[in-house]
Structures are given as structure tokens and as C-alpha cells.
Structure 1
């Protein structure tokens, strides 16, 4: 199994270095597997490119301003390079040390939906924190879908047509296609990622949007 890791980024200089370092540490835990990391820089005008270069990671550039298109670009590039398993995360997230090892342990499967944990609760009100814990089910068979922690077989990705060219919920749409085609999905809390709890969203209606609604008592 050749693993391809795709990380879309749009002006993520604050988080990107930590993201790439966490990915590298996860790769070191599976030394006998071939792994390729690719950052897709989507219209970045900050220091993201320099951070990628300093971490000796391959990259592609695009001007989509669309996370669905950015993910798809990177995934198809790595599949063309021979990747048979694709692991997705986000530039504002840090994968756990055993992130890749746990994915391997869950084989055989077609798709793995992991969980995310917030990196910091301190700036959220107590009410928002409590509401988040009520809404989020950190357990096996959880049914949560996160582009920051989603992995799948390259073959099934191509068969369902890949990520849609949409700026939010591209992860949900992809998993719905996997479900419609009857592929095996593993819903696990053993594949874990820590993600930013910022409230200034990069993608509309993503996790930041969800947290903002909790903070404003809209949920």
C-alpha cells in the first residue's frame, strides 16, 4: 500500500508548520510503508509556500479558492504517482502520532472516517463548550465526517468521481457517494486529529462556522 497524504492550504502560515511536523512524526511510525505528502496551496499570499519548502514537502499551486477542487487536484496527482490509499487532513490540524498506523490497523476497508478534537477550548464560553460536547460523539461508529480526518482507497475515490468542486461540505458529499455505492466505511475514534478551534472560518459552514453558532447560542 502506497499512502498519499493531501493537505489543502489557503493562507495557513500560523498553523502549517505544526501540521507538517505532526504528519512527519506519524510517517515515522510506519517506516516500512511508502508515503508521499502533498500540500495544495490554493491562492496563498502569505508564507505558506516558504513553510512547505522549509519542511521539504512537495506542493502544487492553484487559484481555485475552493477546498473541494484543491483536495481533488492533490488526490488525483498522487493517484497518478501510484498512491493506492489517500489520507486527507487540513493545514490547521495536527494528526496524532499513530494516525497512519491506526488507518493501517483498520484494513481492509474502503473508507475511514476519523474524529477531531479541538486544540483549545479556553476562548469559548462555558455554554459553547458544553454544547459542543453534547453535539460531538467521540466514540466508535460516531457518524461524524471531517475533511481534516478522512481517508479512502484510491480506487473507490475514482469510481465515485471524487470530491465535488464546492467550497464547503465537500467531505460530506464525498462520503454520501461512498454510502450510495455501498462501500465499506469504518467510523472510528482511533484515527484522531487535533484541529484549530478558531472562529474565523476559512471555509463557509465548516467547523469554525459550527463553533461560532455554538458561541452565539444558535444551536
Structure 2
């Protein structure tokens, strides 16, 4: 079984589009009918996210962590407990391509780190997009890490102890732990996901805050 984990905090407006893309990816014929389970981990949601999730054939898990590392880990443990051999991670404001899971599995490595593209730059000044494009390298062999586009085998995930209980950069730390443990990691751009550039980002020090830092007055610093 393949498990997909999506942390969500007040994502009523966007989670449906995310789920629909995940269900489509899970039906890809190249998966040969392997079971794909999606769990939306609802972390202190006070809006209608749960009602939206309930409309789809996915699982939901309610937590009160306010901590993305613990939230991703809770979803991962749920999927591992149900027998998942592969864990795929994305975010509730993200849409994945139909070949997302197929592309993760095709490499037959312990982990796959993919790239992201921004869906709408209208909330940011032109200098933000220009700086982002100058720093971001969506090519094979890139070294970017995104919780919105990551996959890892159950065996490798367990070996390193999973996500640390961090409020930010939990994805970067997981990949560093995998690398230190000698796991094989593929860095690819072929399964690029589309994510939000919204200003009201849910995770401090995450992708949204990085985009905000790319103002004309801020020093250039490459995205992780």
C-alpha cells in the first residue's frame, strides 16, 4: 500500500483541489491497482476543512499539535500502521500531477525529493518572482527540499526515526537524517507539483515566509 500524508490547518478553501489531484494520481494505471490511501491530518482546524474532507474517499486524523513536524509524523504513523510500504508527502495548498506517485516509485530509491512551481504570483511584486527564479533550480540533481513534494520508503523512514517534532524545516532535517544514514535519494524535477504563493501562510519559516523574504531590501539567499 502507498500512503499519502497531507497536513492541514484551516485549509477549507484549497483542500478539495489537493485531494482531487491525489485521488487522480492514485488511480494511475501504472500503479497496477496497488492500494493508495490518503490521510488528511487536521491540525487544530477551526474552519470547514473537516466538512470538505468528509466529501471524499480519504481518511482524516484530528490532532492538536500546531507543529508541522509532529503533524506529518502522526500521518506517517497512521499509514505505517496500515501497512504502507511507501509514504508520499504534500501540502493542502498544493496540486500534484497525475503521474506524481508513479514518478516517485520509478527511481526505486529510498527517497525522492521533487520540485515545486508557484501557481499565482499576483500577490507578490515582480522583484519577488525575479529573485525566486534567479535562485531556484528546478533541474535533475537539484538540492531543494519541499514537504510539499517528497516520498520515502517505509523502511528508510523507520530507520531514521521519521520526522522530528519541529515547527519548521522538518522536511530538511528528515532528508539530512536519510543522507547521514546512507539512504539513496533521488533529486528530480519530473514530478513537479503546483503550490500556493499565498501571504497568509500556515507554517512560519516555511515556503511562504521564504517568498516574503525575497523583497528588494532582503539579501539573496537560495531556497532550500
TM range (shorter): over 0.9
What does 1:1-219 align with in structure 2 at a 5 Å threshold? 2-29=1-28, 30-106=31-107, 108-218=108-218, 219=220
**Which consecutive residues of structure 1, in runs of 5 or more, have no partner in the other structure?**
none
- Quick one: distance in 1 between partners of 2:190 and 2:90? 15
- Quick one: distance in 2 between partners of 1:116 and 1:149? 7
Task: Report deviation, 1:216.
Answer: 4.9
Q: Deviations over 1:35-57 (max 9, x none)?
A: 11111000001000001101131
Greater strand percent: which structure?
A: 1
Q: Deviations over 1:169-192 (max 9, x none)?
A: 000010000011111000000122
Task: Report deviation, 1:22.
Answer: 0.7
Q: What secondary structure sits across from 2:76 in the alignment?
A: helix
Regions of 4+ moved over 6 Å: none
- Quick one: distance in 2 between partners of 1:152 and 1:61? 23
**Which consecutive residues of structure 2, in runs of 5 or more, have no partner in the other structure?**
none
Q: Deviations over 1:47-82 (max 9, x none)?
A: 000011011311110000011001001101111100
Q: What secondary structure sits across from 2:115 in the alignment?
A: strand
- Quick one: distance in 1 between partners of 2:73 and 2:207? 20
Q: Deviations over 1:5-48 (max 9, x none)?
A: 00010001111010001111111213522111111000001000
- TM-score norm. by structure 1 comes to 0.96
Q: Contact 1:115–1:188 (CA<8 Å) still a contact in 2?
A: yes
- Quick one: distance in 2 between partners of 1:207 and 1:92? 11
Q: What secondary structure sits across from 1:41 in the alignment?
A: strand
CA root-mean-square deviation: 1.0
Q: Per the alignment, do residues 67 and 185 of structure 1 end up closer, same or farther by CA in structure 2, a change over 3 Å counting?
A: same
- Quick one: distance in 2 between partners of 1:102 and 1:24? 15
